[in-house]
Amino acid sequence: MVESMNRSRLVGWMLMIAAIILAAGACVGSAEGEPAPSFSFPAFGNDNYEAGEEISLERFADRMVVVNFWYPSCAPCREEMPDLEEASHTYRDEGVTIIGIQLVDVDPAEEGQKFINELGISYAIGADPDGDIFKRYDVISFPTTFFLDRSHNIVRKFGGLLSADALEDQIQDMIAMDRAS
């Protein structure tokens, strides 16, 4: 009984901390104009990438990039992934690439691979094996999404769930800024 009460109390504290982090994430400030930190990680296998293939920011030189930080048991992360998949197809010819980077501190990479297989995710996606990418991007809430211009400068940092409409608006704004420059 005591162990179950302690477990319940722990889960309650964890949920409260997660709610605080998510609320803070909605107010994440942007680092507009700053260069995005470089990264490299092994891809999950899908229709477009071989398992273990290196994904790096430099690989997508001269493309606008949307970098989404997520983990499999994150409900908002799961909710927005189909919209990211659709955007990866819709905006590919406009010079936009979607990249997903999984945090492995919460769920192992195997869970990420299983999850993207279930959803049929085909954009560049994999796990940050040591959490270094998350630290360099200062990710504190999930999901967090960065919008990068063709020079890979940060245009916008968005903390929290992106609805399909909000994602489209952010990408359209990024494309409009690109055309204006």
Nearest in space to 18 (alpha carbons), one of 71, 68, 54, 67: 71
SS3 assignment, position 79:
helix
Nearest in space to 97 (alpha carbons), one of 44, 43, 159, 149: 149
Q: What percent of the chain has pLDDT over 90?
A: 80
In a 13 Å sphere around the CA of 127, the CA atoms on its Cβ side amount to: 22
Give me the pLDDT at residue 6, please: 52
CB contact at 8 A, 106 and 142 = no
**Fold exhibited by the domain 2-180:** Glutaredoxin (3.40.30)
Asked if residue 3 has pLDDT above 90, the reply is no
From CA 7, how far away is CA 3, in angstroms rounded?
A: 6
Asked if residue 108 has pLDDT above 50, the reply is yes
* 136-177: pLDDT as tens digits: 999 999 999 999 999 999 999 999 999 999 999 999 999 999
Mean predicted lDDT score pLDDT of the chain = 88
Q: Residue 16 phi/psi, 5° resolution?
A: -65, -45
From CA 137, how far away is CA 31, in angstroms rounded?
A: 10
Give me the pLDDT at residue 21, please: 45
From CA 148, how far away is CA 52, in angstroms rounded?
A: 24
Write down the pTM of the prediction. 0.83
Asked if residue 30 has pLDDT above 80, the reply is no
From CA 29, how far away is CA 11, in angstroms rounded?
A: 29
Q: At what angle do helices 164-180 and 75-90 cross, to 10 degrees?
A: 40
Domain boundaries, the chain: 2-180
